[in-house]
Amino acid sequence: MFELDCSTVFPGCERVIRADSEAGVIRRAIAQANAFGIMRISPSMMDAMRGRIVELPAAAERAA
């Protein structure tokens, strides 16, 4: 399970995005950005998203 705290990339976003893969987190983060009115994801935003995704330990997956 992978996780991204949306507020670290998009100021004002309070969502924590989780998915089974990094690609899934990125897809959900882009959808969240679109909901915030951000229609173009710049290369630096994409780098920021990739750099802030964390892999959760297996124990955290079972607890969620």
**Model confidence pLDDT, tens digit, residues 26-57:** 999 999 999 889 899 999 999 999 999 999 99
User: Which residue segment(s) compose the domain that 39 sits in?
Assistant: 2-63
What pLDDT was estimated at residue 58? 78
* Residue 62 scores a pLDDT above 60: no
* 16-19, strands of its sheet edge to edge: 16-19, 2-5, 54-55
* Residue 20 scores a pLDDT above 90: yes
**What values do phi and psi take at 15, rounded to 5?**
-90, 145
Distance in angstroms (rounded) separating the CA atoms of residues 38 and 32: 9
What pLDDT was estimated at residue 10? 86
Output the average pLDDT for the chain: 89
- pLDDT band at 60, cuts 50/70/90? low
Total of domains in the chain: 1
